[in-house]
Amino acid sequence: MGVVELTIAFHTIFNSPIDKVVWDVSHQSYTHKILTGRKEAWLDPKHYDDVSGYTAPEESPHDYFNIGHTSTSIALATGMASARDLQGKSGNVMAVIGDGSLSGGLALEGLNIAATLKSNLIILVNDNGMAIAKDHGGLYEGLKELRETNGQSSHNLFKAMGLDYRYVENGNDIQTMLNAFREIKDIDHPIVLHVHTEKGHGYQPAIDHKEAFHWHVPFDLATGKTLHPTTGETYNDVIHMELEKEITENNTPITAITAAIPGSYDLKRFSQKYPERYFDVGIAEQESISFAAGQAKQGLRPIVFHSGTFLQRAYDQLSHDLGINKLPVTIMVSGGSISAGDPTHQGIFDIAMLSNIPGLTYLAPTTKEELTAMMHWALHQNVGPVAIRVPSNGVHTATLNNFNAHKMNILHQGKQVAILGVGSLLPLAQTVQQQLVSKNIDATIVDPRDISELDSETLTDLEQDHQLVITLEEASLSGGFGEKVSRFYGNTAVHVLNFGAAKRFNDRETTAELWREFKLTPEQIVSEVMTNLK
């Protein structure tokens, strides 16, 4: 909402797509989409699904990239501007980045390189004083001083990075933005235009509840109240209960760390009760992991709360800072599901990312009892980092006996066929098992638990009585758990079938379509089993 006026001003003054604008994260591009031929997607219910929630080159020549992660716009714009110069072309290149995204390392790397360009590049910093949640970090003190001094403070990150700089106070005033753009259009060097806007501008409930309205399920327009609030126990409840228990009963020196997504894990409950143990490092996934490494080295038990797709930013830190150093940091990973959504927010690549890092244990709980036991184990072992894949399905419950994180759990001992159901797909394994009973097959059901290292003892045992092992994982198969099982049995008589997602970026297919396409319905799996037993 804060960018409506500056977007209108941009398309008034500049000549898109000769002049190009790259929207950071790009979920603030709706006004831009409306002004570039896509207004029906907001006006006509028949066209609601025509456009994505992010910029999309396949929709319009005014969009350049599919973008859904933060802090990329400046870097992308530096590349575009340098290409324009090398090709002898003209036109403005502008990156529009929110203040919250500025704390991401890539944005800062981009600022540093932007200053080396010798030609047109406009970096519009849309400063509403908020990331998804509150901004975190020293640079925001500087931005605040700049806002309070009409851009005159000497604590100026952009000038310190070698960039020209202008400040605009009334970013939600169209005339102001028209003038600001007129002045810098066709400027011959990189410049930062620091624009002060209001998050949620024009809609009072969004202004009053900025974090809640960053992303929202359907709500009543007049009051801002959620129309269909969720009820019942969630895995977040389970997680918070375990955190509480570790502090009050076990005196475990835990801390909770997030990189700007406290809402995903409802961390407000924790931060209000234990403010000294709570750390939001802002949009800075790399820092979140290395910061946790530092705490763990000193004897604390940090837990970092992440979503699988954003955690990709910290791949090197997971390996270099945690894996090599064997530091007991616990990482909660959410979003691991095959479901409708944009390609930039797919939660199916976490297993390939995490399960192949030496020294990092990746666990997939199937019930709340297992989730609790895995957190407890992770917080009291001294072997190394442990990531836990929070199940994407509803809360399941089952009595837990003899928990061993590295030992596969046989829920039902059958023969002929063994079904290994990873985390959220254990219920699917159980359904398949039941359907196979009617075909006179008594299949074994296994909960693998540790999806980064195979329990070779259990797998070897299965070899005796089973001719077919099938694996089910709610993730991309490429580089995942099933392939490890295939390798294990590669030189044996046991046949293996891996079920999971194809290696691709799904793009707003429905969840049902995806599951059918990937042969993840019970009927399809049963059919495959029957075909391959013959």
Nearest to 392 by CA among 374, 378, 371: 371
Residues in region 359-378 near its own copies by CB under 8 A = 359
Nearer to its own copies, 119 or 170 (CB): 119
CB atoms within 10 A of CB 269: 15
With b meaning 16 or more CB within 10 Å and e meaning fewer, what string describes 422-435? bbbbbbbbbbbbeb
Q: Which of 68, 171, 262, 391 binds its own copies (CB under 8 A)?
A: 68
DSSP annotation of 345 reads: G
Which one, 87 or 248, has the nearer CB to its own copies?
Answer: 87
- Give the separation between CA 128 and CA 136, rounded to whole angstroms: 13
CB 166 within 8 A of CB 184: yes
Task: State in angstroms the smallest separation of the CB of 238 from its own copies.
Answer: 25
Residues 6 or more apart whose CB falls under 8 angstroms from that of 487 comprise: none
Query: Which CB atom, from 170 or from 325, has the smaller least distance to its own copies?
Result: 325
- Quick note: the x/- pattern for its own copies over 154-173, rule CB under 8 A, is xxxx-xxxxx----------
* Residue 477 in the binding site for its own copies (CB under 8 A): yes
> Which span sits near its own copies by CB under 8 A: 28-36, 44-52, 333-341, 475-483?
475-483
Judged by beta carbon, residue 88 or residue 232, the one nearer its own copies is: 88
Angle at 328 between CA 324 and CA 329, to 5 degrees: 100
User: Is the CB of residue 372 less than 8 Å from the CB of residue 398?
Assistant: no
Q: Which of 37, 202, 358, 394 binds its own copies (CB under 8 A)?
A: 358
Residue 260 to residues 249, 268, 285, 515, Cα–Cα distance (Å): 29, 12, 9, 31
**Window 411 to 450, contacts with its own copies (CB under 8 A):** none
Within 286-305, which residues bind its own copies (CB under 8 A)?
Answer: 286-287, 290-300, 302
- Whose Cβ is closer to its own copies: residue 255's or residue 366's? 255
> Please, which of residues 303-322 interact with its own copies by CB under 8 A?
312-313, 315-317, 319-321
Q: Does 134 bind its own copies (CB under 8 A)?
A: no
Under rule CB under 8 A, residue 258 binds its own copies: no
- What are the angstrom distances between the C-alpha of 236 and each of 209, 241, 443, 485, 490? 22, 8, 33, 31, 39
- The answer to the question of residue 148 lying near its own copies (CB under 8 A) is no
218/206 Cα distance (integer angstroms): 13
**Residue span 384-413 as binding mask against its own copies, x where in contact by CB under 8 A, dash where not:** ------------------------------
Residues near its own copies (CB under 8 A), total? 118
For its own copies, what does the binding mask look like between residues 104 and 133, x meaning CB under 8 A? xxxxxxxxxxxxx-----------------
